Structure 1
Amino acid sequence: EVLSAIISVLLVYILMAFLLYEAVQRTIHMDYEINGDIMLITAAVGVAVNLIMGFLLNQSGHLHSHSHSHAHSHVPQSNSPTRAHSSTHGHSSLAVRAAFVHALGDLVQSIGVLVAAYIIRFKPEYKIADPICTYIFSILVILTTIRILCDTGVIILEGVPKHLNVDRIKEDLMKIEDVYSIEDLNVWSLTAGKTAAIVHLQLVPGSSSKWEEVQSKAQQLLLNTFGMYKCSVQLQSYKQEMSKTCANCQSSSA
């Protein structure tokens, strides 16, 4: 999914680079002729085709999100505002989004070409409208694709989704009864709408018999409140001797 999204965006950029090169050449030399009638017909067909493609891709993305929400309907919902916030992010397919942006870019270009063709058809001396249309299209393409590139970058680099706050997760984990400290917490994106987490907790002294209860609460917090796709919770009893030994090791190394 991530690779197909990147490939789709790269194809748009390759097309944009070629069109920009042609537009610059035409702007500099101005030694080109444009058949307004052919340009007008081609642009009109392009607008119609891209409208149909955009509609189909939009429906596909809607069905994908709808089925995804049904697949997770068995998970109990929390009243926490964090859950309401996190559940609205990233559930649409990156590949569908990239394809939709591709079609949207083509549609914008076709509309621009249609306007330019109309101008050139009746005012041939204003043929500069053709390269100007390409410049505007290129700016719009960059603005509409930068979000997809950022999202794919987070997934490839296994970064934390921007709608999740790691410090907030730590604070909520520390509020669980019998949790003494958080040794480690890793949160990363698996793909669009799917986030994984691994957390290592230390329990307060004398509460080792409650590890199942603590583990269940931590899992419910990560899955239900923060919308994790999967998580792993590791527990260990707090040992004062271990803490002293580690402190001595750090003092010796210093």
Structure 2
Amino acid sequence: ARQGVQQRQLEPRPFKKPPSPSLSQGSRGSRESFPGLPLETSPVAPSLELERRLARHCHCSPPTPSQSRAELQACQKLGIACAICFVFMIGEVVGGYLAHSLAIMTDAAHLLADVGSMSVSLFSLWVSARPPTKTMTFGWHRSEMLGALASVLSIWVVTGVLVYLASARIISNDYEIDARAMLVTSACAVGVNIIMAYILHQSVTGRGHTRGYEKMEESPGCSVVRAAFVHVVGDLLQSLGVLTAATVIYVEPQYKIADPVSTFLFSVFVLGSTVSILRDVFRVLMEGAPQGVEFSAVKDVLLAVKDVKDAHNLHLWTLTLSHHMVSVHVAVGAGADMEDVLQEATSQLQSTFGFVSCTVQVERYLEDMAACRQCQDPRD
């Protein structure tokens, strides 16, 4: 009997698999049932809690689809306008040759500059989409601004040549013009330039003001498209001037001087129309603050963050017209949570001012910071 009891004790008992804990059972009883598991007592599902924590990461927000669509639309607009411009440039060369008109020939040269500048703009948009490298850590975004600068410089060179030729023709007064051919060609030029201006036109989006920040909806590629649009507007005005001169010469042939005079007058306007583009390019290449973003407003937002006592070494600059950057040192008190301050400051900079890249250095506040020259704000 005793041997039978020992055999029964040695017999293996059937293994019962313990119930697996479900993460969806995030109730108060879960921690009591499974004390070894790091379960939260919050009614929020752990998956949602994880998503909320990941959402605080500075790089978790991918570029919005509207940006890629805007860049694609810019390329399409430039491509269509460039093709139309090239085809009609050939037509104007033929028409100017038949009419013996310097104004039409110079307008064709102006279109040649437009074709070149649009080609450079298309290339810059393509290059700016390339990813960053270890050498070009910011990527190739600023090639867009270089394309706009090349566009402006090309129109300055062509306009200078036009002014020189117009002045030489006024002085010599030795030329003949076929007014009929000039009239037909200039009328076609006006129509083609209107079509190109319509293609390149970008409607102005709504603008608002939020605590010192002027929200400007500048899409990638906007600067080069705007530069091309200014080119076309200049061509349109010049074509209108040529059409007016052709009408005058057709009615009164003795007033053939209207041909070089129209070229001279409207070239001045074309030069003036490029000033705003050159100003934007200068601001970006010189690391200027974003247009519409006030230095004092950015600092006030940072000082309003909990536990922040000082903000210094604040730098604002633009990678392009649509990529705003900021870096700053934030000084906090002794009992502050640096991680919370970092997250809150970054969130405020991105949501309030639309900065694409925010570099925030959190450090302990020291009394010596008030007397430090490097911690002082820059001049107005």
TM-score scaled by length of structure 1: 0.81
CA distance 1:25–1:229, change in 2 (3 Å): same
CA distance 1:80–1:113, change in 2 (3 Å): closer
Aligned to 2:53: none
Aligned to 1:149: 278
Question: Which blocks of at least 5 consecutive residues in structure 2 are unaligned?
Answer: 1-143, 374-380
1:41-87 CA-to-partner distances (Å, cap 9, x unmatched) read 221121122111111112xx45xx98xx9xxxxxxxxx97247x522
Aligned to 1:124: 253
Aligned to 1:5: 148
Large movers: runs of 4+ above 3 Å:
89-92, 242-247
Aligned to 2:342: 215
130-139 vs 40-49, which deviates more? 130-139
Distance 2:370 2:190 in 1: 71
1:206-245 matched pairs, under 5 angstroms:
206-207=335-336, 210-240=337-367
Counterpart amino acid of residue 205 in structure 1:
A
Higher relative contact order (CA 8 A, sep 6+): 1
Note the C-alpha offset of 1:167.
2.0
SS for the counterpart of 1:163 is coil
CA distance 1:17–1:213, change in 2 (3 Å): same
Note the C-alpha offset of 1:135.
2.5
CA distance 1:245–1:148, change in 2 (3 Å): closer
CA distance 1:187–1:50, change in 2 (3 Å): same
Q: Alignment partner for residue 31 of structure 1, among 161, 174, 190?
A: 174
8 Å contact from structure 1 (residues 205, 239) kept in 2: no
SS for the counterpart of 1:159 is coil
> Of the two, which has the highest radius of gyration?
2
Aligned to 1:47: 190
Distance 1:130 1:173 in 2: 60
2:115 pairs with 1:115: no
Counterpart amino acid of residue 163 in structure 1:
G
Counterpart amino acid of residue 192 in structure 2:
V
Note the C-alpha offset of 1:128.
2.3
What count of residue pairs does the alignment treat as equivalent?
228
CA distance 1:88–1:202, change in 2 (3 Å): same
CA distance 1:245–1:25, change in 2 (3 Å): closer
Distance 2:186 2:370 in 1: 75
Distance 1:148 1:95 in 2: 9
Note the C-alpha offset of 1:195.
0.6
Q: Alignment partner for residue 267 of structure 2, among 138, 142, 155?
A: 138
8 Å contact from structure 1 (residues 86, 227) kept in 2: no
8 Å contact from structure 2 (residues 211, 297) kept in 1: no
8 Å contact from structure 1 (residues 89, 163) kept in 2: no
Aligned to 1:97: 226
Over the matched positions of the two proteins, sequence identity in percent amounts to 37
SS for the counterpart of 2:190 is helix
Aligned to 1:88: 216
8 Å contact from structure 2 (residues 167, 264) kept in 1: no
Structure with the bigger percentage of helix: 1
SS for the counterpart of 1:225 is helix
8 Å contact from structure 1 (residues 80, 225) kept in 2: no
TM-score scaled by length of structure 2: 0.55
SS for the counterpart of 1:232 is strand
